[in-house]
Chain A
């Protein structure tokens, strides 16, 4: 049987693998970058670059294309851990205001910023656009912001966050608790500072 030379070129395995890699990795870029931002902050772009290079070298280990998102995530998390190790520092435990007793729900009920409203609490949240929320989140220290976003935006379990960041689960749970309270407090502070609360009608 004769082999068609053009046909052989078309199925060059190396070429096919490179194209396969691109097709698998490109749609994942936004998600990988977002995850890297949570894990290594300003080094996110470099971590994703590391991840792409490592994954490309190990492509033959990926048996099913459907497993590509989870496979890329594992490689990225390892790249982020390496960066953490090289930086050889733990997230800075900065002192924040005491927020344990703060409840945004009660604060809104007590201060009643939107009198005559039947949906006081929802009205408050609806005043925030995406940029406002990003600005509020940016005020949170990294070690509170990262677990909060990994769990509530990206949908990871607390124990997965603990594994990814090599942090004890108890510490992650405590940071989630405090991060949520701090987020509530900072939403209120932001609304106050930016005139988002209406004056009660006299």
Chain B
């Protein structure tokens, strides 16, 4: 069976569906007997949602105004 270090290294790829069948089976076998790595997996899922919710960058108002001005100019051609 794979070690905790190997399982943890594969967790995000596992969540992203980027592992092959053999790797998925190896991670799942490890998770079935290792409570700590199940915690790691849950936390990796939380961290992914957290990044998705907080990583968004706003369009600064001055940039928006300049891009809208370009659209105005194109519309008026």
Please give the residue numbers on chain A whose beta carbons come within 8 Å of chain B beta carbons, in ascending order. 18-19, 21-22, 25-26, 29-30, 33-34, 37, 45, 48-49, 52-53, 56, 100-101, 103-106, 109, 121-122, 125, 128-130, 133-134, 137, 148-149, 151-153, 158, 173, 176-177, 180, 183-184
Contact = CB atoms under 8 A, between A and B. Distances in A.
B76 to A, nearest CB: 8
A151 B44 CA distance: 15
A29 B56 contact: no
A101 B54 contact: no
Contacts of B29: none
Interface string B29-57: 00000001001100110111011101111
Interface residues of B, number: 35
A49 B70 contact: yes
A181 B8 CA distance: 11
22 contacts: A18-B76, A18-B77, A22-B74, A26-B68, A29-B67, A30-B58, A33-B59, A37-B57, A49-B67, A53-B70, A103-B8, A125-B47, A129-B54, A133-B55, A134-B55, A148-B51, A149-B57, A151-B16, A152-B48, A153-B51, A153-B52, A183-B51
